[in-house]
Structure 1
Amino acid sequence: MADSQTAQTSSAVTKPTESALTTSQGKTVIADVVVSKIAGIATREVAGVHDLGGGAARAVGALRERIPGSRTNQSQGVGVEVGEKQAAIDIDLVAQYGVGIADLAGAIRRNVIAAVERMTGLEVTEVNITVHDVYLEDDATSADEADSSPRVQ
C-alpha cells in the first residue's frame, strides 16, 4: 500500500503542468509580433485613442502610409515581452482632446487584456500606458489648410 502511495505521489510530481499552450501533445509558441498586433488593434478600438506611438514612430508611420500599397503598422507604439505563460505590454499613444485620460487608460487596459488573453491563452501581467500628446482638431485643420494653399502666387 505504501508503494502505491509513493507511485501516485511521484507521478504527480513528475507530470508537467498543462496549460493552454503546453500540453502532453506539444507546445505552442506565440511570437512577440502576434501579441503586439493584437494589443495594437485592441487599443485602436477604444474611443478616445487618436494614434499609437510617440513622435518619431508616428512620423515614420505617416511617411509609410503615403507609399502606395502600404498598410498601417498595427503594432506601432506597442512593446511586448512574451514568456511561456505570460505577457507584459507597453503602449505609447496620443489621446483625443477632451477625453478623461485615466478613464481612457482603464478602458484600454480592459480591452487589451481581454483580447490578448482570449486570443493567445497568455496571462497578461501588466499593461503600461504612456500618453505622449493630446490631439486637437484645430491643429489638423490648420495643417491641412497650410498644405492646400500655394506657397507662391
Structure 2
Amino acid sequence: MSETAPRNRRPENQATEPAAGTPKTLGAAGAGIGPAAAERTRRGGGDPAARGRTTIADGVVEKIAGMAARDVVGVHAMGGGIARTFGVVRDRVPGGRSVTRGVKAEVGEVQTALDLEIVVDYGVSIADVARAVRENVIAAVERMTGLEAVEVNIAVSDVKLPDEEEEPTEPRLQ
C-alpha cells in the first residue's frame, strides 16, 4: 500500500455486512439472499440451483400426460383393446389403476417425446379432440417438468358408440 492510500480500506474480496436498510444481494434466480449466502456464492459455491442434477423418469412424464389427456372432453378411454382389457382387471385391484395406460414417453436431458393411444366418444370431431389432447398434454408436461415436449403423437384406436356395453362388469372366469 502506498502512503497516500487510506489505511482502513478492505480488500475487494472481503465480505462486509450491509448497512441497515441496504437491500440483500440477489441470486441468479432473483431471490434475495443474505450476506452469508452471498459469501458462499463468492467463495465458488455458485448458484445453489446449479449444484446438482435433476432427472425425471419416463413414468413421471407418462402419468402427467395420461392425466392431462383424460381431462379433455371427448376422450372416452386411454389405450388400445388389449391394454384396456387388462386395465379393467388391474383397476379392480386396490391401487392398481394405471394412469399411464395408453401413454409412452421417451425422456432426454431437456426434451421429451410422447405417444398416446386414445378412444374417443362417438360424435365428437376426432381432429378437434386430438388437437385439444396435444395442447393439454404439452402444457401440463412443460409446466410441471420444465422439459420441452418436442413431439406428441396421438393414435385414435377406437370410437365408443352410445349403445356399446361399457367395459365388462364381471370377469367371465371366477
Q: With structure 1 as the length reference, what TM-score do the two structures score?
A: 0.75
Q: How many percent identity over aligned positions?
A: 55
CA shift, 1:26, in A, is 1.2
Higher RCO (C-alpha under 8 Å, 6+ residues apart):
1
> Which one-letter code corresponds to 1:128 in the other structure?
N
Match of 1:46 in 2: 72
Which amino acid is 2:152 matched to? Answer: V
1:2-151 matches, within 5 Å, as 24-67=50-93, 69-140=94-165
Q: Report the Cα distance in structure 2 between the residues aligned to 1:84 and 1:134, rounded to whole angstroms.
A: 36
Amino acid at match of 1:137: P
- Root-mean-square deviation over aligned CA pairs: 1.5
- Determine the C-alpha separation between the residues in 1 that align with 2:82 and 2:103: 14
Deviations 1:68-121 (A, max 9, x none): x23420100000110000000000011000110000010001100000000000
Unaligned runs of 5+ in 2: 1-48
> Per the alignment, in what secondary structure is the counterpart of residue 165 of structure 2?
helix
Residue type of the alignment partner of 1:132: S
2:115 & 2:132 partners in 1: Cα distance?
Answer: 15
Q: Deviations over 1:34-65 (max 9, x none)?
A: 00000000000000000000111000001111
Structure 2 Cα separation of the partners of residues 71 and 98 of structure 1: 31
In the alignment, residue 106 of structure 2 is paired with which amino acid?
E
Taking the aligned partners of 1:46 and 1:52, their CA distance within structure 2 comes to 12
Q: Structure 1 segments of 4 or more deviating over 3 A? A: none
Q: Between Structure 1 and Structure 2, how many residues are aligned?
A: 121
* Structure 1 residue ranges without an equivalent (≥5): 1-22, 148-153
Shift of 1:24: 2.6
User: Which of the two has greater helix per residue?
Assistant: 1
